[in-house]
Amino acid sequence: MTREIAIRRRHALRQRPGVLVAAGLLAVVGAVAVPFTAQAGVEHAPMDSARQEDFTAAAAEFHVPSRVLLAVAYQESAWDAHAGQRSASGGYGPMHLTDVTPAMLADGDAGAAGRRDLAKLAADPALHTLEAAAKLTGLSERQLHTDAAANIRGGAALLASYQKATAGGTSADPGDWYGAVARYSQSAQRQGAQAFADRVFATVHKGAERTATDGQRVTLAASPQVRPATGQLAKLHLASSAATDTECPATVDCTFVPAAPSNGQVSNRPANGIRIDSIVIHDTESSYASAIATFQTPGGSASHYVMRSADGAVTQMVPTKDLAFHAGNYSTNMHSIGIEHEGYAAHGATWYTEAQYQATADLVTYLADRFGIPLDRQHILGHDNVVGPTSATVSGMHWDPGPSWDWEHFMDLLGAPVTGGHGVGDWGTVVTIAPGFASNQQTVQICPSDDPTGATAACTKVTQPSNFVYLRTAPSDTAPLFGDQAIHSGAAGTDRINDWGSTAQAGQQFVVAGKNGDWTAIWYSGSKAWFYNPGGVNTVPARGVTIIHSGQTPITPPVKVYGSSYPDAAEYPAGLSPSTQAPLSMYTIPSGQAYVATAPAAVTDDYFKSSGTVVLGAKKMYTIQYNHRTALVYAGDVTATTQPLQNNPGSGH
């Protein structure tokens, strides 16, 4: 996303525009390949073949069959160099050589900021193939970072070293490289390594051609005669995932493909005391197959489940007992299950099919029943509802599944509708946002950086069905949009599709802070924000909810707001390094304001994979609906009251 509002799109999954002709995993999970088609009568700029020559030279230097080297690079990067920039999983260049740092794990989907064991988490050799390639070639790590030709040489050297270790020497027969290719995946599990090797050799069989984003034209001729030596996989002595059985309801088509182990943590939830209390809905910003491949790449993110758009088929990638790094917040990862959906948020509702909604509803209902998760919008969240764990990460948190995920329809499918008798109560009562979807036409601006498919050529205003209402600084449609402090620092908000800071979303609950004609005010992000709500058309009065109050006198200090929920340092056993947290510097709850608690107060906690230790603190924290996102406050800093089960709904219809 553009830095003017400092929002990054989740995952930054590697896109594969143009051709995707490999079958491999596609045959396993049923993804649809996208064929390369040339447009007749269209003039193209001259293509550069230097990268093709780099692959040829590196293959010859290290005695790697060029078809194998090209196919590995195609699966890793679609032959893009990425101008020396790292991928979301810490990889560089066409060969995706990895160099993952503790800072990447702190700021990425692990959301592990404040953890003292970051260096240990980042020490996995699978996250440092760039260092290994530098030792093999004598090239500097900087060269491997920034120079595409050097990066290709490094990948070829690494692949050749794996071949020698697996087969005792190099070979001119591409099929003899199956074991080396499987090891290049860096997967510690047999299923993941096999899936990667199968994709690579499917590309060898069917061929591929593509112009990379920097104009480099690369071609791999089809070689259907190659017969991969699949028996070599046994020589790698990889462990088989113990979770080969899927955790899905019988109503969905479900397959298990393991994510890279470094993209999560083995645990034993909830038997070990770590509660599972929420489900987070994501979109992939990529194809179904690309998301699965990315989650198998060490050093990045993973979700428990991936849902296909066309028919709602499911691939489970992480057992529910384990943590998946999907939410960008370690505390959220501890207590949630992540579900990815094939789709692009900038493309409106077109990717979110009825088959996908219904399959996800069946899966969520199954998981909620199994783990006792309430079926409401306070526990069934969007990734855009998850707060950043630190002040530095708040602005860059993800905004998927975006404004076109129909929350009201989805909650209906769960048997937990957010609609009802519309209206709005008096000051201090609670409303649920419920604007409808098809009839709630909102205008958003979509820019090229919001759309990884490349289909958006210039910033464009689009009016479309939406799941939110805009919030303004005063009760007028000419008043500025509310600007969230983390994004705009005192400036007005915008109508950019990724600007979550000026919107209240269907199913979210807020305390009424005032009414003025057709406008309703709510307490939001430490301020009073207004939205158009004639006759309560966009809201449903809420009852039986817990309201969190700050101090009620002007001299009461503002309540501090947090993004994570760790115990105090003194509560950690000897030998475990305490995780740390600090208040979010841009957020407070000023005196006199009130917010809805999305769940009962829960004890602070932490987890250490190395020993399996769960640390429970003595203090409790409330999760509250603070703005478009949730946040945390210490129970001892606030007063909690319960909204009466019966109240004055005010105007209704």
pLDDT given at position 649? 40
Q: What angle do the packed helices 190-206 and 66-77 form, to 10 degrees?
A: 120
Contact at 8 Å (CB) between 276 and 304? no
pLDDT given at position 535? 95
Instruction: Extract the residue ranges of the chain whose pLDDT is less than 50.
Output: 1-46, 646-653
Contact at 8 Å (CB) between 69 and 55? yes
pLDDT digits (tens, 9 = 90+) for 442-489: 999 999 999 988 889 999 999 999 999 999 999 999 999 999 999 998
pLDDT given at position 552? 67
Total residues belonging to the chain: 653
Per-residue exposure over 178-212, b if at least 16 CB sit within 10 Å of its own CB, e if not: bbbbbbbbbbbbbbbbbbbbbbbbbbbbbbbbbbb
Contact at 8 Å (CB) between 429 and 511? yes
pLDDT digits (tens, 9 = 90+) for 617-631: 999 999 999 999 999
Quickly list H helices, 215-349.
288-295, 330-335
Q: Measuring CA to CA, which residue among 255, 328, 262 is closest to residue 292?
A: 255
Q: Record the tokens describing residue 11, joined without a space.
A: 């995952």
pLDDT digits (tens, 9 = 90+) for 320-374: 999 999 999 999 999 999 999 999 999 988 889 898 999 999 999 999 999 999 9
- In angstroms, the CA 377 to CA 506 distance is 8
